Amino acid sequence: MQPGFVTPDNIAMLTDLYELTMAASYHEHRPDDRATFDLFVRKLPPHRSYLVFAGLEQAMFYLMHLSFSPDAIRYLRAMRLFPSSFLSYLKTVRFRGDIDAMPEGTVFFPHEPVLRVTGNIIEAQIVETLLLNTINLQSLIATKASRVVDAAAGRSVVEFGLRRAQGTDAGLKGARAAYLAGCAGTSNVLAGQLFGIPIFGTMAHSFVQSFPSELEAFRAFAKTFPSGTTLLIDTYDDVDGAQHAAIVARELARHGHRLGGVRLDSGDLIAVSRLVRRILDAQKLRDVTILASGNLTEYRIQEIVRRRAPIDAFGVGTELSVSADAPSLDIVYKLSEVVCGGTSMPTLKLSAGKQTYPGRKQVYRLERGQQFVGDILALNHEPVAGHPLLKPVMRKGRLVGPLPSLSSIRRHAAAERMRLPFKLRRLDEASLYPVLISPGLRRTARECRRRLLTGVGEPVEP
């Protein structure tokens, strides 16, 4: 039986085989060269005008604990693929490189490095796959959550997606990313325990079904949780459900308790919420809230808000937790510079549709008042306007300082969203945010392309 848990002990092996074959070849031919890699998104997913950076904390843990266990080395040796000198090297390898990154919660755009790795070329290569996996997942979900939260226009959004998230890690880190981007909390208990995220939960239809009648189910639940509980009222019929909830609310009130809310999970949420609100209000239950769930998207929530349906909070599951309309980012990790024997060489690739920018880079953000107006992608120390977004996070494998708390990241993400040009926050139509390429970077790219196309052993451009 193989449960397949990813642990700090085996996570170094959660990588593509080619990272290790390349590493072995670097180890043979140029063990001391250094390299810089940029982690960035090539293009925006559909409907998106901006992205939210997330996952740095987990990525840094991975880098700080990277090591290959004796089991791992044994497995690799049995493949009869790798030179044994490389396997000896791998036994003791640690990540000792430098990381510069945007702070988590920062909004970013295509071609902007969100994380830059500089270090020994072998170390910088073998961490590629897991850095991509970690940043991809959390940035994807944070970006989606930002849209959903924006659509809710101040009403609460709770992440309910663990059951249909793509696996356990996506369930757990998705809750973190969703909270970071503005959700009020999650249904995920472990995310509550590990990350300190507020957790929410009501009841399922099965609970109601398991009792002879809905009213008995509500009474039983309210007896166990007399304060502030939420009843799910649409197992059989939502109007009857609202009436039963009202009965229980009055019974609770008689004992000094208060019903917290009711939840709707099916049907026409706008029409039904109005009906339910009227039933509750008629019974003087104005402070009993209505929570809606059931296949909600940012568009559906926007419509509900626009039509002023009396829904106080939204539970959003699958659509948020898999970023259903855009379930991956076009995220890549590209070599931008190699330093061999003290000589720095910027690099790029020319593959059809996959060109990259060479050299060690920085992203500068321009502001007018409180508003972001454009970014400049430039060489690292090129004197351009704006303030730099990539900050030192790690030097020689050690953190330069403590990472920010999740709640401060969450405040940063909220501030960032408010500073976006308003048209970038439209849900249906993507707008272009200006990302300019600096003169220095253009020049380096030109020179690099010329060198590649005329270099020794390389044919001239036809």
DSSP 8-state assignment for residue 153: T
CA 162 to the chain's CA centroid: 15
Smaller CB separation from a copy of itself, 110 or 386: 110
> Which contiguous run of DSSP H or E holds residue 88?
helix 84-92
Locate 302 and state its tokens: 């926007």
Q: Does 24 bind a copy of itself (CB under 8 A)?
A: yes
**Residue 281 C-beta: closest distance to a copy of itself, Å:** 21
Q: Does 225 bind a copy of itself (CB under 8 A)?
A: yes
Let me know the angle formed at the C-alpha of 251 by 247 and 254, rounded to the nearest 5 degrees. 140
Count of C-beta atoms within a 10 Å radius of residue 355: 12
Please answer whether residues 185 and 165 qualify as being in contact, where contact means their C-beta atoms are separated by less than 8 angstroms: no
Least Cα distance to 345 among 26, 19, 23, 34 occurs for: 34
Question: Judged by CB under 8 A, which of 275, 305, 338, 414 binds a copy of itself?
Answer: 338
**Residue 363 C-beta: closest distance to a copy of itself, Å:** 21
- The C-alpha atoms of residue 343 and residue 382 are separated, in whole angstroms, by 19
Pairing of strands 331-340, 313-316: unpaired
Smaller CB separation from a copy of itself, 236 or 371: 236
Smaller CB separation from a copy of itself, 48 or 176: 176
Q: Does 445 bind a copy of itself (CB under 8 A)?
A: no
**Residue 167 C-beta: closest distance to a copy of itself, Å:** 3
Question: Judged by CB under 8 A, which of 22, 305, 414, 436 binds a copy of itself?
Answer: 22
Smaller CB separation from a copy of itself, 190 or 384: 190
Locate 167 and state its tokens: 């696996």
- The C-alpha atoms of residue 430 and residue 396 are separated, in whole angstroms, by 40
Q: Does 6 bind a copy of itself (CB under 8 A)?
A: yes
- The C-alpha atoms of residue 335 and residue 37 are separated, in whole angstroms, by 4
Residues 123-142 that bind a copy of itself (CB under 8 A): 125, 128-130, 132-134, 136-137, 140
Question: Judged by CB under 8 A, which of 18, 407, 415, 446 binds a copy of itself?
Answer: 18
DSSP 8-state assignment for residue 13: G
Residue 396 identity (one-letter amino acid): K
**Residue 234 C-beta: closest distance to a copy of itself, Å:** 5
Smaller CB separation from a copy of itself, 175 or 377: 175
Smaller CB separation from a copy of itself, 92 or 224: 224
Residues 282-311 that bind a copy of itself (CB under 8 A): none
Residues 226-265 that bind a copy of itself (CB under 8 A): 234-237, 240, 265
- The C-alpha atoms of residue 206 and residue 61 are separated, in whole angstroms, by 40
**Residue 420 C-beta: closest distance to a copy of itself, Å:** 25
Least Cα distance to 289 among 297, 301, 281, 298 occurs for: 281
Among 89-97, 186-194, 300-308, 382-390, the segment contacting a copy of itself (CB under 8 A): 186-194
Locate 203 and state its tokens: 């009841």
Q: How far is CA 234 from CA 161, 186, 385, in A?
A: 20, 22, 57
Q: Does 172 bind a copy of itself (CB under 8 A)?
A: yes
Smaller CB separation from a copy of itself, 209 or 431: 209
Count the alpha carbons within 13 Å of 382 in the hemisphere toward its beta carbon: 22
**Residue 155 C-beta: closest distance to a copy of itself, Å:** 20
**Residue 395 C-beta: closest distance to a copy of itself, Å:** 17
Q: Does 414 bind a copy of itself (CB under 8 A)?
A: no
What angle, rounded to 10 degrees, do the helices at 238-254 and 269-282 form?
Answer: 30
Among 108-116, 321-329, 375-383, 386-394, the segment contacting a copy of itself (CB under 8 A): 321-329
Q: Does 395 bind a copy of itself (CB under 8 A)?
A: no
Question: Judged by CB under 8 A, which of 90, 311, 335, 441 binds a copy of itself?
Answer: 335
Q: What is the CA radius of gyration of the chain?
A: 26
Count of C-beta atoms within a 10 Å radius of residue 368: 9
Instruction: Write out the E strands in 217-272.
Output: 230-232, 261-264
**Residue 434 C-beta: closest distance to a copy of itself, Å:** 27
**Residue 129 C-beta: closest distance to a copy of itself, Å:** 5
Torsion of CA 70, 398, 105, 386, to 10 degrees: -140
Q: Does 111 bind a copy of itself (CB under 8 A)?
A: no
**Residue 103 C-beta: closest distance to a copy of itself, Å:** 15
Spell out the residues 6+ positions from residue 313 whose beta carbon is closer than 8 angstroms to its own: 155, 156, 157, 158, 184, 261, 289, 290, 291, 292
Smaller CB separation from a copy of itself, 164 or 395: 164
Smaller CB separation from a copy of itself, 249 or 376: 249
Question: Judged by CB under 8 A, which of 53, 95, 108, 200 binds a copy of itself?
Answer: 200
Q: Does 425 bind a copy of itself (CB under 8 A)?
A: no
